[in-house]
Amino acid sequence: MIQLPLSVALRDDANFENFYVNSNALLVEKILQSTQHNAVDGAIFFWGEIASGKTHLLQAVCDKVAKRNLTAAYIPLTLWQELDVKMLHGMESFAAICVDDIDSIAGQIKWEKALFELYNRATENNTQMYFSATRSVKEIPFKLADLSSRLSWGFVFHLRALTDEEKPKALQAHAKGRGFEMPDNVARYLLNHYPRDMNGLSQLLERLDKASLAAQRKLTLPFVKQWLSHSL
């Protein structure tokens, strides 16, 4: 089971099978280890630029935990103004808690205190916690120094963004995760003609997948060009 805010839905392609690891092997290995029965000793904090894969990894954790018939929570703090801090109450009883973009609430003392207290309760309950941010812990201007301290206690990683050379392989990994093959020329075409933002490209890939299934055609370059000319 996965607990989400009402306005949030997990991406159906957010799993570990289609995450292109590149230079982040140690981080992914540690996260996978933590989702097994013997959790790692400490929370996992990772930071990276926008569209570097932070949300994908956190949602993949939720997917993995839910497949073990356990409960995970996904908390997207970019939406903190739409959320009630009381939602954190009782989450320490879950198997995993995934907090996305924790730097979004820096300076919001009520949220900082609530997350600090949740961290302590989760630690006492052996609940695995995961945090993502766009900045390192030291660069986040939290008012509550104890929260910064807690986030630095566990495993801290810098999530490296994909290079332009790696992005075609990442797109193909996404396609494979959805059950179809993407030829090299299609991957290069998409990257050469559309913004190289992996979040946007993943959404485009989902639409292409549905279109090819509806048309009962393979994802060839002629089909992609034809569909894009009428759909975007």
β-bridge pairing 128-133 and 44-47: parallel
- Rounded distance between C-alpha atoms, residue 66 and residue 68, angstroms: 5
What are the backbone angles phi and psi of residue 96, rounded to the nearest 5°? Answer: -150, 145
- Do 127 and 173 reside in the same domain of the chain? no
Domain that holds residue 214: 167-231
Asked if 150 contacts 114 with a C-beta cutoff of 8 angstroms, the reply is no
Taking only the tens of pLDDT, the chain with its 232 residues reads 677 675 577 777 788 988 888 889 999 999 999 988 656 678 999 999 988 899 999 999 999 999 999 999 999 999 999 999 999 999 999 999 999 999 999 999 999 999 999 999 999 999 999 999 999 999 999 999 999 999 999 999 999 988 888 888 888 888 887 788 899 999 999 988 887 777 788 888 888 988 988 888 888 999 999 998 877 6
Q: What is the pTM of this model?
A: 0.87
**Lookup: tokens for 165:** 């050379």
Residues 200 and 102 placed together within one structural domain of the fold: no
For residue 94, CA distances in Å to 7, 57, 154, 184, 219 come to 21, 18, 19, 42, 41
Angle, CA 52 vertex, CA 83 and CA 114 arms, to 5°:
30
User: Is 172 in the same domain as 154?
Assistant: no
Domain end marker among 102, 134, 158: 158
Determine the length of the chain: 232
User: CATH no. for residue 14?
Assistant: 3.40.50.300
Name the domain count of the chain.
2
